[in-house]
Amino acid sequence: MEFRLVFDSIPEQFDKYRVRYSREIFDYLIDKAHIGKGTKVLEIGPGTGQATDPILDTGCDYTAIELGTNFAEVLRKKYGRRDNYALINDDFITHDFGDEHFDLIYSAATIQWIPEDIAFDKTFALLKRGGMLAMMYLYGDYKSPDPELFADIQKVYDEYYLPAKKYEHGKFVYDNAVLHGFTELETSSFKGRREYTADEYLMYIGTHSDHIVLEEPYRTPFFEGVRESVIRHGNKVVFDDSYIIKTVRKP
C-alpha cells in the first residue's frame, strides 16, 4: 500500500487526534480569497474534515475530493446533509472534473502527496481566472519547549524506528507553483500551541503514515519507549506550532 493510502486504515483515530488548524489561518484565507456565498471551492484531500468547517461555514459552493473510502464515509456522516457540500470519493490525480472551475482550491497537508507537475498543472487548469490556490501545512516544534524530552525520544527512534517500508516520499516544493503559470506567491504563518499526555501523544504520532506501517518486533518497543520517555518528563509533550499558508493566483 502506498503511503498516501495508509491514513485511511485508521479513520476514527485520525479524526480524533489529527491536528486542526488555527482559526486565524482560515480568517486570513477567507478574506484573501473572498470566499462566501456564490463562490466555488475545492478542497483536495480533506481527510476527516480537519480543515473543512471554517470554509464550508461561509456558505460557499464547496466540493471535496477524498481518496480514502473510510475517510469518505466519515465525511458523509459529518457533512452529507449540508446543502452546500459535495463529496467526490476519487483520486485527484486521475479524476475528470469535466467543465467545472473553482474560485479557490486548497489543501491542508495534502497536495504534497501529488507529483508537483500534476498538482500545479491540474489546479491551474481547474481554477477560474484570478482564482487562488492555497496550500497549508504545519510545522510543530517540541524540541524547543523541552530539549531533554526531545533527546530521550530521539534515542527511542534511533533504536526502534525501523519500518519495513521506508518513507521515501519526495520533497514537494510549494514555491515551484510559479513555474507552472501561477503568480503572486505569498507566505504567511500563524502561531499555536498543543499539549499532550503520553497516551495522547502516542495516538497522535500513530496517525503519521510512516508510523502506521511500523511492524513488529519494533512497533511495540517503539511506542512503549516513547510513552515511558514522556512519562519520565512529567507526562507532557508541548508543541510550539507554526501554521503556514502559501497562496498563488491564476492570472
Q: What is the pLDDT of residues 124-147, one digit of tens each?
A: 999 999 999 999 999 999 999 999
Q: Using CA atoms, how far apart are residues 251 and 108, in angstroms rounded to an integer?
A: 23
Instruction: Give the model's pLDDT for residue 4.
Output: 79
CATH number at residue 148: 3.40.50.150
Identify the band that residue 171 occupies on the pLDDT scale cut at 50, 70 and 90.
confident
The tens digit of pLDDT for each residue in 181-212 reads 999 999 999 999 999 999 999 999 999 988 99
The tens digit of pLDDT for each residue in 24-36 reads 999 999 999 999 9
Residue 211 bridge partners (DSSP): none
Number of domains composing the chain: 1
Q: Indicate the helix (H) or strand (E) that contains 25.
A: helix 23-33
Range of the domain at 15: 3-249
Distances from the Cα of 208 to the Cα of 9, 32, 235, angstroms? 11, 31, 21
Instruction: Give the model's pLDDT for residue 167.
Output: 63
Q: What is the rounded end-to-end Cα distance, in angstroms, of the chain? A: 38
| Strand ranges (E), the chain | 40-44, 61-66, 85-89, 102-108, 127-141, 183-196, 237-249
The tens digit of pLDDT for each residue in 44-76 reads 999 999 999 999 999 999 999 999 999 999 999
**Mean pLDDT for the chain overall:** 95
